[in-house]
Amino acid sequence: MSQEHSPSDPPYSIGGSRLRAEVTTSDLIVLQGEIPIDGLSRAIELANHRVVLNLAPVVDLPSYLLSRADPLIVNEHEGRLALGVMTGTDPDASLSDEDVLQRLIEHGVRSVIMTRGEQGALVADRDGLAAVPSPKVKVVDTTGAGDAFVGATVAALAEGSTLIDAARFAARVGAYACTGRGAQPSYPDSASPLPDQRQGAL
């Protein structure tokens, strides 16, 4: 028998029974900044396991919710904005990308991946920081490359990969997505030959 819901709490809202069950029981959920902030906040609060947060665009989440991200995925600009949200101040413009990641970790974020286009990505957690190279490819269209990176990261983590290995895989998928036109049409499938990271380095 289906449960009754008030108009303010429909079954497919975060507080509704169907999505609530999905959020609370999933081993991993992926969220991003375009979700209305009330729903985004509620989903993070309800999650019992790993939260992957692609904070694009950056929204003003409380620091205790940002600290649940594992990882927080941002680009260079978003990383600085996220640090500002965590600290309540504008970050020093002279901070390097590495400094930004280290300070996000110091302020409680569990792990961070910063995407940097053709420069690859930086991965940070409480054990340290590592650079992930981006393969050199002939870029046709960068549309959707960031989403491809996030999706590949989540897929790899769901399969049990470490954070650094997930980022390495995601860098290859993101690079592949740049070799075709459009967003989803340019994404690889399981049979697609991904570019070799040895072809490029930071």
Instruction: Please check whether residues 54 and 137 belong to one and the same domain.
Output: no
Preceding peptide of 188 cis, ω within 30°: no
Instruction: Please check whether residues 1 and 56 belong to one and the same domain.
Output: yes
Residues in the chain: 202
39-81 per-position pLDDT tens digit = 999 999 999 999 999 999 999 999 999 999 999 999 999 999 9
Instruction: Please check whether residues 121 and 25 belong to one and the same domain.
Output: yes
Q: How many helices and strands in the chain, by DSSP H and E?
A: 7, 6
143-202 per-position pLDDT tens digit = 888 899 999 999 999 999 999 999 999 999 988 888 877 666 666 666 666 777 654 433
- Cβ-contact 41, 14 below 8 angstroms: no
Instruction: Please check whether residues 20 and 107 belong to one and the same domain.
Output: yes
Instruction: Please check whether residues 164 and 103 belong to one and the same domain.
Output: no
- Cβ-contact 69, 111 below 8 angstroms: yes
Instruction: Please check whether residues 26 and 69 belong to one and the same domain.
Output: yes
> Which residues are the active-site residues?
147
* Domain CATH number, residue 92: 3.40.1190.20
pTM of the complete model beyond 0.75: yes
Instruction: Please check whether residues 126 and 137 belong to one and the same domain.
Output: no
Tell me which residue range forms the domain holding 181. 133-202
